[in-house]
Amino acid sequence: MHQKLKSKARTKKQIHATTLLQLLRLGLRLPTAVLEAIAQNVSSIAIAQARTQGFASSTEANIIDGNRQSLEPLSPGQSFQVSASNSTILFQNWQIPSLLWIEPTDGGVVFVGNSWYRGKLLLIAQGNKLLAVNYVDLKQYLLSVVGSEMSAAAPMEALKAQAVAARSYALVHTFRPANGWFDVTSGERHQAYKGIATEYNKLISI
């Protein structure tokens, strides 16, 4: 039995690798971040853009700059402001060029604007605007998308159909992202995505 499971796992990896190889042979130059997202089934969603944003984490979070150097950790429930100025991120006493990651530990969630989100955040300074991109497991992303676009009272078959359509849409935009920094946005331009507020138990079984 164990050998069969291992064999199936290898087969899936081989199929996945073959798909990527075919895409590369077609001349598609996939950035490293895209390749990693495909391999890990991760979606990246632009969820907010403003000069100053407020953030928090439900658990301790690691604050990491664009060179993957750790700054001071964020305490659970601690809120803080991050701003952008001349493509530089201003965070407490730090001035950080371009990029900043907020990575909750122990399965924590992050707060942006008025919503909580699973996964981690990438903050990008674009001139005097700060773009917040949520990197989240594809399945967790779909829980929020389906919950955002359909009522919990909808028949299970309708929810399943919506989940399949949303997954296909997300995967297409993994290969053809809306922007160099993210696959899709969180609004009507792509798929509605409102974080954990729109998840409900009925969706977990899909």
With the C-alpha atoms ordered 183, 126, 91, 96, is the resulting torsion angle positive or negative? Answer: positive
* Domain boundaries defined on the chain: 1-30, 45-137
Q: What average pLDDT does the chain have?
A: 81
Question: What DSSP character marks residue 58?
Answer: S
Per-residue pLDDT tens over the stretch 21-65: 444 444 444 445 545 555 557 789 999 999 999 999 999 999 998
* Separation CA 12–CA 4 (nearest Å): 12
pTM of the model: 0.78
Per-residue pLDDT tens over the stretch 111-156: 998 899 999 999 999 999 999 999 999 989 999 999 998 888 888 8
Tracing tokens 């929810």 back to the chain, one arrives at 159
Residue 55, beta-bridge partner list: 80, 112
Say what the pLDDT of residue 56 is: 94
Say what the pLDDT of residue 36 is: 56
